[in-house]
Chain A
Amino acid sequence: MNVTLFVTCLVDLFHVNVGKATVELLERLGCTIHFPEAQTCCGQPAYNSGYVKEAKEAMKHMIRTFEHAEYIVTPSGSCATMFKEYPHIFKGDSEWEERAQHVANKTYELTQFIVDVLKIEDVGARLEGKATYHTSCHMTRLLGVKDAPLTLLQHVKGLEVVPLPNAHNCCGFGGTFSVKMGPISEQMVDEKIQCIEQVEADYLIGADCGCLMNIGGRIERKGKPIRVMHIAEVLNSR
């Protein structure tokens, strides 16, 4: 199956291992990976800050870059949601709405793609320890992908997955919120970490690098013995 990878800017620049794991995992599952070099960012930082004009320039660039793909797969629930929002954002634009729809229709978050398109629930991964999974807000509420990551994690050998208390509460990332509203964000991420500690998890697993940068960065700052992993890294563990 031909997969065009939208790796996301965060993975490209800061979390290269997540990208590597995504490629290796998908190849192991029989996919051929294509990577359009022209890809940049989905436009979300500008869009969510109210800079719609600037965001649209980025979005048009991404539509041009991805519109000929067969399947667009990305290791981020939030960035996948942004692609899905494109038609809504370009509504009424005779040139771009249809092209945006075309891109949105073919876009999948990584775990959603594995479970719903590849129809695989056990990817043959192995990881020893106790883990809890952070449900990121955009992926859960807006993209509607709730079960796929848990289904895949349940099949990881050696891994005990325990529910995270108050999982529905946001971790406090929210893009520019994390810096604009620092003191509030700090309280939110601290409560999230308390919940992770409560279940005594060795690993915190998530499917969005934004949340993981936030939770992980705070965990590191506080020197907590919790390892933060992207779900692609977990599923690529053997």
Chain B
Amino acid sequence: MAMKINMGEFHERVEKGIHNTFMRGAVAGAQERLRTRRLEAAEELGNWEEWRALGEEIRQHTLENLDYYLMQLSENVKKRGGHVFFAQTAEEANDYICRVVASKQAKKIVKSKSMVTEEIHMNAALEKLGCEVIETDLGEYILQVDDHDPPSHIVAPALHKNKEQIRDVFQEKLAYTKTEKPEELALHARHMLRHEYMTADVGITGCNFAIAESGSITLVTNEGNADLVTALPKTQITVMGMERIVPTFEEMEVLVSLLTRSAVGQKLTSYITVLTGPRDKGEVDGPEEFHLVIVDNGRSDILGTEFQPVLQCIRCAACVNVCPVYRHIGGHSYGSIYSGPIGAVLSPLLGGYDDYKELPYASTLCAACTEACPVKIPLHELLLKHRQTIVEREGKAPISEKLAMKAFGLGAASSLLYKLGSKVAPTAVHPFTVNDRISKGPGPLKAWTDIREFPAPEKERFRDWLKQRGNE
């Protein structure tokens, strides 16, 4: 699966993440800033819960009628002189994109930020063709310069790096001589990139929302890089996940408002660009040719299942920014370009349980994600559904756990068994008990007592006390 990053066992990745103090400092700081800004932006809008409900309704309606809207989008893009390609798999998408690029004899490609192109590993396919692919989003550019370090966050891909680390990367790779001041770093990247836009043959973008009624695509950025990517090269290719669509401009406006406020706490980002087809007669800029690649890559398998709500996602990362697990392990531990709660739900669906079976358990089910989601995806409930699927359909749960849960089911469903079990519990753990505490527990208790003290079961249960007291 192309979305896979950081090979190796989940627990090893987590261990590595936990010991990366730079990353953890950067993530905790970013979480606090982004969370506070999001709450302020939501407050400022007023009646936030009504906006969320509207966002959910729009996304659900669109998914229920996805075939209709995709058809409408496709027809309208063609009417405006664009080309549309439906790719069922990552390979089909890359093949098509490579064919277009090859037909233009293109050598240099500039790209704005796009998660779906990461998902299908498009850059690698184009590089194999002999093309130079240049990321123009500042975060993505930093990662590309740093020997293709994978993204750790769906909105801020280089979130795991602090400014000193970025300075070091620039010094090593780009002959940078100035300080770690963000302004100086950004200015240097801008100098490096400006020339690339001017000389690129093809521009490739992602798509925040496609608008079915007009055949337009919407791009949301703060850097304006997507505008240069789409204005200068002769050929534009836009790649979108098949669910990233809205019926009309009206719904786009609602979702963009939810997106920018949830992602970065802004009313609007610096640039929100709506593009329709290639350059028209009388227009001064824009590409001569426009291709829209609509990628399925496992999404239609999610439609109609209990996991369908995950397709409501508008990739704002609000869930990532409040996740207490992500906070400590960082994005790379997830082993997928989609990290945090949304990644823990989506990665097993797109990439399979073999690679991602631990992710649904990397959550305390604290529901901070569900509470933050601007389109009301019940993320913690979907994590639970994954766990249920792993136990019931995939049969991947450990045998010891199965036996323990079987015993639990029997014990908790029978007052007699429960009473008996709870009566003998203090005796059973007596050999491990010192001063009513267990510090080195046996069997399943060990994982608990490796970290914390465990209270020994009390000799007199609550029910015994109550009975003696005479309550019934």
Q: Is the CB of A217 within 8 A of B452?
A: yes
Chain A nearest Cβ from B323, distance in angstroms = 9
Tell me if A174 is interfacial: C-beta within 8 Å of chain B. yes
Please classify the interface of chain A as helix (H, G, I), strand (E, B), loop, or mixed, using the class held by over half of its residues.
helix
Given contacts A19-B462, A39-B415, contact A50 B325 (CB under 8 A): no
Contact A177 B363 (CB under 8 A): yes
**Contact segment of B72-80, B132-140, B385-393:** B385-393
Chain A window 73-94, contacts with chain B (Cβ cutoff 8 Å), 1 for yes, 0 for no: 0000000000000000000000
How far is A168 from B450 in the complex, measured between Cα atoms in Å?
26
* CB of A169 closer than 8 Å to a CB of B: yes
Cβ B463 vs Cβ A174 within 8 A: no
- Nearest B residue to A88 via CB reads B381
Residues B409 and A16 in contact, CB atoms below 8 Å apart: no
Out of A12, A53, A221, name the residue touching B409 (CB < 8 Å).
Answer: A53
Report how far A128 CA is from B188 CA in the complex, Å.
59
Contact with B along A169-198 (1 / 0, CB 8 A): 110111111111111111111010000000
Whether B413 contacts A61 by the Cβ 8 Å rule is yes
Which A residues are in CB contact (< 8 Å) with B328?
184, 187-188, 191
Q: Is the CB of A34 within 8 A of B472?
A: yes
Q: CA of A53 to CA of B409 in the docked complex: distance in angstroms?
A: 8
Nearest chain-A residue to B364 (Cβ)? A174
A217 touches which of B412, B414, B448 (Cβ 8 Å):
B448
**Assuming A141-B368, A177-B363, is B392 touching A23 (CB within 8 A)?**
no
Distance, CA A61 to CA B411, complexed state (A): 11
Task: Report A180 CB to chain B, min CB distance, Å.
Answer: 6
A147 in the interface (beta carbon within 8 A): no
Q: Given known contacts A41-B412, A58-B409, A61-B414, is B365 in contact with A20 (CB within 8 Å)? A: no
| A7 with B462: CB separation less than 8 A | yes
Interface residues of B in 312-357 (CB under 8 A from A): 322, 324-325, 327-329
User: Other than the known A49-B401, A50-B389, A53-B409, what 11 A-B pairs have Cβ atoms closer than 8 Å?
Assistant: A37-B419, A45-B405, A49-B405, A57-B412, A137-B366, A137-B368, A141-B367, A176-B361, A185-B451, A186-B451, A217-B455
The contact sample of 24 A-B pairs, CB cut-off 8 A, is: A9-B412, A13-B425, A13-B457, A13-B461, A14-B457, A16-B460, A16-B461, A19-B465, A35-B463, A35-B471, A37-B463, A38-B415, A41-B408, A49-B401, A50-B384, A50-B392, A50-B397, A137-B365, A141-B367, A141-B368, A141-B370, A174-B365, A177-B365, A179-B447
